[in-house]
Chains A and B, each alone.
Chain A
Amino acid sequence: MIGSLDARLPDGPIENAWTDHKFDLRLVNPNNKRRFTVIVVGTGLAGASAAASLGELGYRVKAFTYHDSPRRAHSIAAQGGINAAKNYKNDGDSVYRLFYDTIKGGDYRSREANVYRLAETSLAIIDQCVAAGVPFAREYGGLLDNRSFGGAQVSRTFYARGQTGQQLLLGAYSALMRQVAAGTVALHTRAEMLDLVVAEDRAVGIATRDLLTGEISAHAGDAVILATGGYSNVYYLSTNAMMCNVTAAWRAHRRGALFANPCYTQIHPTCIPAGDDFQSKLTLMSESLRNDGRIWVPRALDDTRAPADIPEAARDYYLEERYAAFGNLVPRDVASRNAKTVVDAGRGVGPLRNGVYLDFSGVLERDGAEVVRAKYGNLFDMYQRITGEDPYRVPMRIYPAVHYTMGGLWVDYNLMSNVPGLFVAGEANFSDHGANRLGASALMQGLADGYFIVPYTVGDYLAGRLGKEGPGTDHPAFADTVSDVNERTARWPAARGSRTVDWFHRELGQIVWDHCGMSRNAAGLQKALSEIPALRQEFHADVCVPGSAATLNQSLEKAGRVDDFFELAELLARDALEREESCGGHFREEHQDAEGEARRDDERFTHVAAWEWAGPGAEPIRHREELTFSAVTPTTRSYK
């Protein structure tokens, strides 16, 4: 059982907290570093940067990815940019302002000290990336360009065309490959972590499945870092890549790591709506489109006229009408909820009536197609490629989609979970975004964790392990874990039911989307809590997984991941039910004001909910970490 949650937050003013804390962290001398093995799971921004940095320091690193190459993680798909408080634009930005914006954007549900450190670290990230050859956008004088992003009032976003995530990941990947060549990092590709090995109450290794041969093997390490991303694919349709999953984090949870705030999920308002029932994933388009596009739906139900034939008076520009100050630029959660309201009311557009218009006719008429092409050409081409419609002639159709998950494994200030030796970095942890993440902050957090936080804090943990050699793979805990994994994996090829894994995943996603999506209520969440275990039971009884466990078998891989999504989905619904307030991405219909705006309950819910696994079928235990605010005062977000 877990006692009180100690986040090990530093004392004193937040401006010096990280500097002071770094001084307090213990060091491992260079000769001793090579005695320690650090396991890093995942090679996205957080994992690749952590593995490379730890290798440079002299640790023996084992890096694991289920991809064929570490360059493919979904960090690569981030478009918009990365924030840093450089104030290169002389527009009044500062570390404090980035901190303030992030903590407010998170709806006062994150830790002040963590968020301040993130803002502080943003400066060094940009320096590091530029030195590594990331081709950020530049001005004619050769200096770095910045833009305003996601409604920020300062221009602090560094970007590389619409492919910032790709370029940052290639930078971290190249640093990683340099260490692979130097022999400090042993790279394991096509190896999926299926369990965490815990012995002597510490994380001591992992069990992986070789995706080509099916072999389950054990790997020992003095510390384990999970950088395995978020869980948006619990909704089936999301902007995440096809393989993104929660298994590594979930298996760590089942081995004792607390899972924090699973109900904090982010819906992105500008995605391309699903085109048919076999849609496999959703594609996001940069929200910069809302700078010039006007969002509307027909006022009347069942108005099936072509958009151009609908006169102005019959159009409802609902964001402009409702939010005079911000209009189409209201934050992501507000824009998303309002789109849902009009579509649910039967006023959606498109063949499946599942979108709203994002109309560029005004700016096209005013500035001409060439100006629009210069600004948004790539995005318009992408839209046309996917939908077959020309947005220069007909309005785009957009709809919100799940995009990012703020919840994740609970970690302390050192990014260590409650299981000693288990560190969690990037989207996989819950640490910095509170109930809502600001645009261009995900890349910042992944790289902050990997380049500049974990390398110090892992050292502090390992310094305490000097002279106490961890158990090797001959410890019985490894054999036990491998045998658990073998047993779990072996059940799938025996499954010869009448439904595919994807069918169950789609059904699960629909339940989670309907009841734990953009807005939630107690009745819906209770319904989800009864439907999810029932469907899971059916999944076990009736799923069909062809092929063998001893070869590359994509159906089998998916079966294990979906199985874990079922359990996570239940926890997500339970967390959402218990959090009786609306904050950030979590909107409870019972908690809104007369105008339909979110109402936080600071008195009852200024805390992190960190859930403890209590065994299969047992009610998980909800722990609390109280949040205190000394630098900022929580206020109500208003965009009217």
Chain B
Amino acid sequence: MSTTNNGALSVHLRVWRQDGPGDAGRFETYDVGDISSDASFLEMLDVLNERLTLEGREPITFESDCREGICGTCGLMINGRAHGPQKGTATCQLHMREFSDGDVITVEPWRAGSFEVIRDLAVDRTDLDRIIAAGGYISVNTGAAPDANLVPVPKEASESAFDAAACIGCGACVAACPNSAAQLFTAAKVQHLNLLPQGQPERWARTEAMVETMEQFFGSCTNHGECEEACPKEISIDFIAWTNRDYVRAKLKNRKLAGQV
């Protein structure tokens, strides 16, 4: 529940610290006081890090960049929820007014087999890029494009494609999934292109390649739906259903012919 209270809070943090991929890791506790409720969650961690630095201790490693909820660099498990308690909000857009004075807050990295912990709260999400490299594109070389208005795109198709394309690639869907599947990420990327006329020639090959690359590096989807709940862009699991449909069709069709129908 949002309030407009500008008062200061004190919180007790339990933060996952891990020196490197091979380290067992442990929770450390920190008290952080006198934080404005208008500060963002990451600014609260910035304040703590400055204090740790001056105390001669190593600051907590966590990743963020744009701090506008669009680049997908940030991502913390906060009290067991990917990106924390506020729905549809990336970690960097979470503010301290969502917490109460005296709260105990547990902060962990994304937990998923395919996301190796690099250090403290930073994880390796490179496998998401592998899914894109497998087919998350339209094969059009620079200079080969026809006039932009040559192919009309029905507004509904364009809007749906956009709903999928809004994915910021943060990996919250993987972290929230009991199977560590990247199905929502993959489905969003597949459907962004499959829904557009420009994406039709490679539709079946793309779907097959991306889904199978996902299966190779991540767990399998069993329709828990946790991903949709955790997604900071509130991307719908309908895209997963559509991708499953496309995947079955891709498997059944003779793809050499499919490009022509």
Tell me, yes or no, whether A binds B. Answer: yes
Q: Report B-chain residues with C-beta under 8 Å of the C-beta of A452.
A: 142-143
Q: Would you list which residues of chain A between 219 and 260 have a CB under 8 Å from chain B?
A: 241-243
Query: Does B241 touch A at the CB level, under 8 Å?
Result: no
**CB-CB nearest in chain A for B154:** A142
User: Inter-chain contact count A-B, CB under 8 Å?
Assistant: 219
Query: Does B17 touch A at the CB level, under 8 Å?
Result: no
Stretch of A109-117, A287-295, A549-557 lying at the B interface:
A549-557
> What are some 30 contacts across the A-B interface (CB < 8 A)?
A68-B124, A68-B126, A72-B73, A77-B70, A88-B149, A127-B146, A131-B140, A131-B144, A133-B199, A135-B165, A136-B148, A136-B158, A140-B155, A142-B153, A142-B155, A142-B158, A143-B149, A174-B132, A174-B136, A175-B140, A177-B137, A178-B139, A241-B66, A276-B36, A278-B43, A388-B6, A455-B142, A496-B56, A499-B54, A546-B53
Q: Report B-chain residues with C-beta under 8 Å of the C-beta of A555.
A: 53, 59
Q: Would B66 and A503 count as touching, CB distance under 8 A?
A: no
Q: Report A-chain residues with C-beta under 8 Å of the C-beta of B36.
A: 275-276, 278
Q: Report A-chain residues with C-beta under 8 Å of the C-beta of B50.
A: 500, 502-503
Query: Does B3 touch A at the CB level, under 8 Å?
Result: yes
Task: Give the interface residue-count category, chain B.
Answer: 35 or more
CA distance in complex: A76, B86 (Å): 23
Stretch of A336-344, A368-376, A379-387, A566-574 lying at the B interface:
A379-387
On whether A384 and B2 interact (CB within 8 A), knowing A72-B73, A174-B137, A178-B137, the answer reads: yes
Q: Report A-chain residues with C-beta under 8 Å of the C-beta of B148.
A: 86, 126-127, 129-131, 136, 144
Query: Does A67 touch B at the CB level, under 8 Å?
Result: yes
Minimum Cβ distance to chain B for residue A38 (Å):
14
Minimum Cβ distance to chain B for residue A70 (Å):
8
CA distance in complex: A135, B147 (Å): 15
Residues of B participating in the A interface, judged by any CB pair closer than 8 Å: 2-6, 19-20, 36-40, 42-43, 46-47, 50, 52-54, 56-59, 61, 63-68, 70-73, 89, 93, 95, 97, 118-119, 122, 124-126, 128-129, 132-134, 136-149, 151-155, 158, 161-162, 165-166, 168-169, 192-193, 196, 198-199
Most buried by B among A49, A67, A170, A351: A170
CA distance in complex: A70, B128 (Å): 11
Q: Report B-chain residues with C-beta under 8 Å of the C-beta of A181.
A: 133-134
Binary CB contact string for chain A from 121 to 141 against chain B (1 if under 8 A, 0 otherwise): 000101111111101111111
**CB-CB nearest in chain A for B162:** A135
Q: Report B-chain residues with C-beta under 8 Å of the C-beta of A401.
A: none
Out of B37, B52, B57, B151, name the residue touching A388 (CB < 8 Å): B37
Q: Report B-chain residues with C-beta under 8 Å of the C-beta of A242.
A: 64-67
Minimum Cβ distance to chain B for residue A442 (Å):
15
Out of A74, A126, A163, A554, name the residue touching B166 (CB < 8 Å): A163
Q: Report B-chain residues with C-beta under 8 Å of the C-beta of A243.
A: 65
CA distance in complex: A166, B72 (Å): 11
Minimum Cβ distance to chain A for residue B152 (Å):
3
On whether A52 and B97 interact (CB within 8 A), knowing A68-B63, A72-B72, A142-B154, the answer reads: no
Q: Would B146 and A280 count as touching, CB distance under 8 A?
A: no
Q: Would A278 and B46 count as touching, CB distance under 8 A?
A: yes
Minimum Cβ distance to chain A for residue B239 (Å):
14
Query: Does A189 touch B at the CB level, under 8 Å?
Result: yes
Grouping DSSP codes into helix (H, G, I), strand (E, B) and loop, the B interface class, with mixed when no group exceeds half, is: loop
CA distance in complex: A435, B234 (Å): 40
Q: Would A142 and B152 count as touching, CB distance under 8 A?
A: yes
Q: Report A-chain residues with C-beta under 8 Å of the C-beta of B71.
A: 72-74, 76-77, 241
Q: Report B-chain residues with C-beta under 8 Å of the C-beta of A73.
A: 71
On whether A544 and B4 interact (CB within 8 A), knowing A56-B141, A67-B73, A552-B118, the answer reads: no
Q: Would B196 and A133 count as touching, CB distance under 8 A?
A: yes
Q: Would A552 and B119 count as touching, CB distance under 8 A?
A: yes
Q: Would B57 and A546 count as touching, CB distance under 8 A?
A: yes
Binary CB contact string for chain A from 462 to 481 against chain B (1 if under 8 A, 0 otherwise): 00000000000000000000
Minimum Cβ distance to chain A for residue B46 (Å):
6
CA distance in complex: A76, B196 (Å): 21
On whether A180 and B95 interact (CB within 8 A), knowing A130-B145, A212-B118, the answer reads: no
Most buried by A among B57, B68, B93, B134: B68
Q: Would B155 and A138 count as touching, CB distance under 8 A?
A: yes
Minimum Cβ distance to chain A for residue B159 (Å):
8
Out of B38, B72, B155, name the residue touching A276 (CB < 8 Å): B38
**CB-CB nearest in chain A for B194:** A133
Binary CB contact string for chain A from 76 to 112 against chain B (1 if under 8 A, 0 otherwise): 1100000000101000000000000000000000000
CA distance in complex: A154, B161 (Å): 28
Binary CB contact string for chain A from 41 to 77 against chain B (1 if under 8 A, 0 otherwise): 0000000010011001000000000011111111011
Q: Report B-chain residues with C-beta under 8 Å of the C-beta of A212.
A: 118
- Contacts beyond the supplied A280-B43, A551-B19: 4 A-B pairs with Cβ under 8 Å: A143-B152, A166-B70, A177-B133, A281-B67
Q: Would B53 and A544 count as touching, CB distance under 8 A?
A: yes
Minimum Cβ distance to chain A for residue B216 (Å):
14
A-B pairs with lowest CB-CB distance, top 10: A142-B152, A131-B145, A174-B137, A127-B145, A275-B38, A130-B148, A53-B142, A135-B162, A181-B133, A241-B65
Out of B68, B147, B158, name the residue touching A77 (CB < 8 Å): B68
**CB-CB nearest in chain A for B168:** A166
Q: Would A76 and B3 count as touching, CB distance under 8 A?
A: no
CA distance in complex: A76, B5 (Å): 32
Q: Report B-chain residues with C-beta under 8 Å of the C-beta of A546.
A: 52-53, 56-59
CA distance in complex: A178, B53 (Å): 42
Minimum Cβ distance to chain A for residue B226 (Å):
23
Minimum Cβ distance to chain A for residue B3 (Å):
7
Q: Would B66 and A552 count as touching, CB distance under 8 A?
A: no
Query: Does A633 touch B at the CB level, under 8 Å?
Result: no
Q: Report A-chain residues with C-beta under 8 Å of the C-beta of B2.
A: 384, 388
CA distance in complex: A195, B63 (Å): 24
Q: Would B54 and A544 count as touching, CB distance under 8 A?
A: yes
On whether A275 and B39 interact (CB within 8 A), knowing A243-B65, A503-B50, the answer reads: yes
Q: Would B72 and A71 count as touching, CB distance under 8 A?
A: yes
Q: Would B169 and A69 count as touching, CB distance under 8 A?
A: yes
Out of B39, B42, B46, B147, name the residue touching A502 (CB < 8 Å): B46
Query: Does A31 touch B at the CB level, under 8 Å?
Result: no
Q: Would B147 and A127 count as touching, CB distance under 8 A?
A: yes
CA distance in complex: A539, B38 (Å): 30
Q: Report B-chain residues with C-beta under 8 Å of the C-beta of A167.
A: 162, 165
Minimum Cβ distance to chain B for residue A394 (Å):
9
Q: Would B61 and A74 count as touching, CB distance under 8 A?
A: no
Most buried by A among B38, B93, B151: B38
Minimum Cβ distance to chain A for residue B196 (Å):
6
Q: Report A-chain residues with C-beta under 8 Å of the C-beta of B66.
A: 72, 74, 76-77, 241-242
CA distance in complex: A277, B145 (Å): 49
Q: Report B-chain residues with C-beta under 8 Å of the C-beta of A423.
A: none
Q: Report B-chain residues with C-beta under 8 Å of the C-beta of A503.
A: 50
Out of B73, B133, B198, name the residue touching A68 (CB < 8 Å): B73
Q: Would A138 and B137 count as touching, CB distance under 8 A?
A: no
Q: Would B54 and A135 count as touching, CB distance under 8 A?
A: no
Q: Would A161 and B162 count as touching, CB distance under 8 A?
A: yes
Q: Would A189 and B126 count as touching, CB distance under 8 A?
A: yes
On whether A131 and B59 interact (CB within 8 A), knowing A138-B155, A275-B39, A385-B95, the answer reads: no
CA distance in complex: A194, B110 (Å): 30
On whether A552 and B59 interact (CB within 8 A), knowing A135-B192, A142-B153, A242-B65, the answer reads: no
CA distance in complex: A241, B72 (Å): 12
Minimum Cβ distance to chain A for residue B9 (Å):
12
Q: Would B165 and A170 count as touching, CB distance under 8 A?
A: yes
